[in-house]
Amino acid sequence: MNITLKIWRQKGPNHVGAMETHKMTEVSGDMSFLEMMDVLNGNLIREGKEPFAFDHDCREGICGSCSMFINGEAHGPGRNVTTCQLHMRSFKDGETIHVEPWRSAAFPVIKDLSVDRSSFDRIIQAGGYVSVNTSGETIDANAIPIPKHDADEAFDAATCIGCGACVATCKNSSAMLFVSAKVSQLSLLPQGKPESKQRVIRMVDQMDLEGFGNCTNTGACEVECPKGISITNIARMNRAFLSSNLTSK
């Protein structure tokens, strides 16, 4: 198939970017979107031009690196997929495809399609952990019985890969889906309970400090999330945030 690509080109964090047009011929429908980008970059390098910078790592939907806003949607068309899991057969022959970076004040562009998501790391550092003694006397996690329902919900929340599609998609650039998934994953389990109050307050405070917007419950995040994280987690976090603020000293 033949396609026309319009891809965001931006030299660096402080440069103004613009869309750049490239035509591609003989694209196989079985290529993943990233393989198509590799071919394009190969062509550019052979022509002595600058290839496009983009993040990728696992190429199997588990690392969350491959941040691309394709044709107006995070990770492009299709539900529950990352960009690396998106195939070119999802597009029509002759289609024009727009490729942009995640756009959010809290995710500054490093170069082209590559953005700095260390704001997520700082939110995790603020409270996304359990303080367990690992001196050699560690208690086996399985020694503590956990209701099946809680375990299932915690596991569902834990499938978040920190890709940032929720922020990229949200019209307010809110990080509530990501943060609520991380809060839920830990707070639903017994090991996470002792720190649950301070965790939710610290993580939400850090989220606000990073310049993410406020959640207005449009629900776009859960539709575009490659892991199907539900906004039920956001309600749970709102509940926990409110009660933790009311009851913590």
User: Shortest Cβ distance from residue 132 to another protein (Å)?
Assistant: 28
Exactly one of 27, 37, 84, 115 binds ligand FES (CB under 6 A); that residue is: 84
Query: DSSP letters along the chain, please?
Result: --EEEEEEE-SSTTSPPEEEEEEE-S--TTSBHHHHHHHHHHHHHHTTPPPPP---S-SSSSS-----EETTEETSSSSS--GGG-BGGGS-TT-EEEEE---BTTB-EEETTEE--HHHHHHHHHH-S-----SS-PPPGGGS---HHHHHHHHHHHT-----HHHHHSTT---HHHHHHHHHHHHTSGGGGGGHHHHHHHHHHHHHHTT--------HHHHH-TT---THHHHHHHHHHHHHHHH--
Residues 165-204 that bind ligand SF4 (CB under 6 A): 165-166, 177-178, 181
User: Shortest Cβ distance from residue 158 to ligand HEM (Å)?
Assistant: 27
Report angle CA 153, 179, 132 to the nearest 5 degrees.
70
* Contact string 228-247 vs ligand FES (x = CB under 6 A): --------------------
Question: What tokens does 39 get?
Answer: 């071919």
Closer to another protein at the Cβ: 92 or 144?
92
Binding of another protein by 219 (CB under 8 A): yes
User: Shortest Cβ distance from residue 206 to another protein (Å)?
Assistant: 15
Closer to ligand SF4 at the Cβ: 164 or 192?
164
Binding of ligand HEM by 28 (CB under 6 A): no
Exactly one of 216, 243, 245, 248 binds ligand HEM (CB under 6 A); that residue is: 216
Which of ligand FES, ligand HEM, ligand SF4, none does 58 bind, CB closer than 5 to 8 A by kind? ligand FES
Exactly one of 160, 170, 204, 220 binds ligand SF4 (CB under 6 A); that residue is: 160
* Contact string 63-102 vs ligand HEM (x = CB under 6 A): ----------------------------------------
Instruction: Give the pairing of strands 109-111 and 73-74.
Output: unpaired
d(CA 81, CA 97): 17
Binding of ligand HEM by 235 (CB under 6 A): no
User: Shortest Cβ distance from residue 161 to another protein (Å)?
Assistant: 19
Binding residues vs ligand SF4 (CB under 6 A): 160-166, 177-178, 181, 225-227, 229
